[in-house]
Structure 1
Amino acid sequence: MTYWINTVSRGHVLRGVAGGFTQANHGKPHMLRKMAKDDWIVFYSPKTDYPDGAPLQAFTALGQVTDDEVYQADLDPEFQPWRRGMRFEPCVETPIRPLLDDLDFIVDTSRWGYRFRAGAFAIEEHDFGVIRSAMTPVVPTRRS
């Protein structure tokens, strides 16, 4: 199993959550082909929307790949992006800055944003755990 980060605007992430899919690198297939069924993906959103959204710098969704192969969506003749099926977990949007010191893939916290320029990239299980724990806080139950 591999853990991934996919860098996508919040608006595009929300469309994927609603539709049960992910895209990467503006609909190109190469990174999606590296992913396998049951791999986990954390979505990092530098902006609210692409290309001109407001800065966000937060993890906005996480989920697991549900299919064996990439597929191409037939949206219109000009845009037929490649996708992977996803099962998303309930989570809360989480700013990245409080987590920077705990993430091993961030080598230099003064230049932390550089790593996300790759779009989609693999991370270690430790980093996935840090992010997942922050995004899925335990809600205390009420005692009667």
Structure 2
Amino acid sequence: MIHWIAVISRAHARIAAASGFLQVCHGKAGPLRRTRAGDEVFIYCPREGMGAGDVLKRVEFRCTFDDDCIYSVEQAPGFTPFRKDVSFDKGFQGVAIHDVAGLELTASPQWGLLARRGFFTISAHDAELLRSHDRAAR
């Protein structure tokens, strides 16, 4: 299993959670092709809206890929993004990224540059820290 971070606004992440899909990097297929069924994804929401709204800096959702099928959907005229189906962890409460001590991800002050990629891997250590921080908050 590979552990991923998807950087998505909270508004868009809520749509994905309600619909059971994940769409990353403005709908590009390439990042999704690197994933496999069972891979775990934490959705990091830097802001409420895409480039606007309240600053959040929170890991808001956790999900896993259901299968390896990538498909496209016409979301708007001229915009046909690629998606994969995921199952969301309905019990995941979310956490402010800086509230999780010991993350390798945020150890570098330049970690925000990595987040600009929009979709990237994290270590199993960081994934476990995010899951255990969530369990402790319940």
TM-score by length of 2: 0.91
Structure 1 counterpart of 2:55: 55
Q: Do the aligned partners of 2:42 and 2:61 also contact (CA within 8 Å) in 1?
A: yes
Q: Deviations over 1:96-140 (max 9, x none)?
A: 1122x41113342x333222111100111111011112223364x
In structure 1, C-alpha distance between the alignment counterparts of 2:135 and 2:44, rounded to whole Å: 15
For residue 122 of structure 2, what is the amino acid of its counterpart? I
- Unmatched runs of 5 consecutive residues or more in structure 1: 140-144
- Unmatched runs of 5 consecutive residues or more in structure 2: none
Structure 2 counterpart of 1:112: 111
Structure 1 residue 12, shift from structure 2 partner: 0.7
Structure 2 counterpart of 1:129: 128
Pick the structure with greater CA Rg: 1
Taking structure 1 as reference, are residues 40 and 11 closer, same or farther at Cα in structure 2, changes over 3 Å only? Answer: same
RMSD (Å) for aligned C-alpha atoms: 1.5
Identity over aligned pairs, percent: 29
> Which is strand-richer, 1 or 2?
2
For residue 62 of structure 2, what is the amino acid of its counterpart? L
| Counterpart mapping for 1:94-105 below 5 A | 94-99=95-100, 101-105=101-105
Q: Deviations over 1:5-26 (max 9, x none)?
A: 0000011110000000011101
40-49 or 73-82: bigger deviation? 73-82
Q: Do the aligned partners of 1:106 and 1:115 also contact (CA within 8 Å) in 2?
A: no
In structure 2, C-alpha distance between the alignment counterparts of 1:91 and 1:127, rounded to whole Å: 16
Structure 2 counterpart of 1:142: none
Structure 2 residue matching 1:91: 3-state secondary structure: coil
Q: Do the aligned partners of 1:72 and 1:83 also contact (CA within 8 Å) in 2?
A: yes
Q: Do the aligned partners of 1:60 and 1:94 also contact (CA within 8 Å) in 2?
A: yes
Structure 2 counterpart of 1:87: 87
User: Runs in 1 of length 4+ with deviation above 3 angstroms?
Assistant: 136-139
TM-score by length of 1: 0.88
